[in-house]
Amino acid sequence: MNPILVRPADMVRITTPALADKYIESQISALREQIGDKKVLLALSGGVDSSVVAALLIKAVGRQLVCVHVNHGLLRKGEPEQVIKVFRDEMKADLIYVDATDRFLDKLAGVTDPEQKRKIIGGEFIEVFAEEARKLDGIEFLAQGTIWPDILESEAGIKAHHNAGGLPEDMKFELVEPVRILFKDEVRIVGKQLGLPDNMVFRQPFPGPGLGVRCPGAITRDRLEAVRESDAILREEFEKNGLEGKVWQYFTVVPDFKSTGIKNGKRTFDWPCIIRAINTTDVMEVTVEHLSDVLIDHLVKRITTEVPGINRVLFDYTPKPPATVEYE
């Protein structure tokens, strides 16, 4: 068993390369001791946390790591393609790609309760991993990108983070969670020290339940597509305007209500698209990024003309607390 499961009260915050190196060194020996000559299966979402976990495990146990990238149909535009390119082609990882879109969306159809949605997504994830593991020989461990705020918020009963839960009784995997005791800013420093590219280490976080929590209420394929397309436009515009890597997290939400609009002289009855852009260091408290008027006008124009089903754009200027970052 990995002996470090709880963040020690006196643990020094990792703010320097030297402290990160020390953490990496201790984790590599802890991982080697925990895993031995067995194989580890990693849920590689392509986000910062699981990418850093992958890099740590590659360093610690090399080809004993098998990465599984599950496309649950709730990923951002172009994301599965990018994960395959970076990890399989460039980092030469042993990567299995599973397209489980229909399976997830069928299970989620008609489900409105946020916690129920998270549980379904988390539960299906574990099922998919188990199926992949059964096809492989000698998998005994399941690696996860759980971080310290996930544990704190689960314990406080705020949210059931899918990656902070235990495995079903019948499953024989032991958990490997090498960034479990780290805050987000610490994970990034560790990732950089592990030699991961900047665009991976400093990319904005993306929740495990993906666009599912940005399509509040019952997920439908058309509204999910509106979230995905508007998110792609927002990311493109942030990149063009030099905000990528500067603003901590930014995304769109398409709520499940419609309002009246007008297009080409005809009445429309479509969804609004909400834009949220925030800054933080540890996600316990966040502030809002105020966008320029020019960018706001441009985003409104692009999203209302290019995204089917959207006739209105709203901006969420609420800090955390009182609002959480995500809508569900």
Work out whether 276 is an interface residue with ligand XMP (CB under 6 A).
Answer: no
Q: Closer to ligand XMP at the Cβ: 61 or 151?
A: 151
CA 189-34-135 angle, 5° bins: 100
**CA 2 to the chain's CA centroid:** 24
Which range in 7-15, 128-136, 200-208, 298-306 contacts ligand XMP by CB under 6 A?
Answer: 200-208
Work out whether 162 is an interface residue with ligand XMP (CB under 6 A).
Answer: yes
Work out whether 178 is an interface residue with ligand XMP (CB under 6 A).
Answer: no
Q: Closer to ligand XMP at the Cβ: 209 or 270?
A: 209
Strands 259-263 and 266-279: antiparallel
Q: Closer to ligand XMP at the Cβ: 65 or 278?
A: 278
Work out whether 235 is an interface residue with ligand XMP (CB under 6 A).
Answer: no
CA 96-213-272 angle, 5° bins: 125
Strands 249-253 and 95-99: unpaired
Work out whether 188 is an interface residue with ligand XMP (CB under 6 A).
Answer: no
Integer Cα distance of 177 and 101 in angstroms? 26
Work out whether 59 is an interface residue with ligand XMP (CB under 6 A).
Answer: no
Work out whether 163 is an interface residue with ligand XMP (CB under 6 A).
Answer: yes
Work out whether 326 is an interface residue with ligand XMP (CB under 6 A).
Answer: yes
The residue at minimum Cβ distance from ligand XMP is: 207
Interface residue with ligand XMP, options 14, 283, 307, 313 (CB under 6 A): 283
Work out whether 205 is an interface residue with ligand XMP (CB under 6 A).
Answer: yes
Work out whether 207 is an interface residue with ligand XMP (CB under 6 A).
Answer: yes
Integer Cα distance of 196 and 205 in angstroms? 15
How big is the chain by its Cα radius of gyration, in Å?
A: 20
> Residue 86: CB partners within 8 Å, gap ≥ 6?
46, 197, 200
Contact flags string 84-123 toward ligand XMP, x per CB under 6 A: ----------------------------------x-----
> Residue 170: CB partners within 8 Å, gap ≥ 6?
none
Task: Output the CA–CA distances (angstroms, integers) from residue 237 to 203, 234, 254, in the order listed.
Answer: 15, 5, 18
Interacting residues toward ligand XMP by CB under 6 A: 118, 159, 161-163, 205, 207-209, 249, 283, 320, 324-326
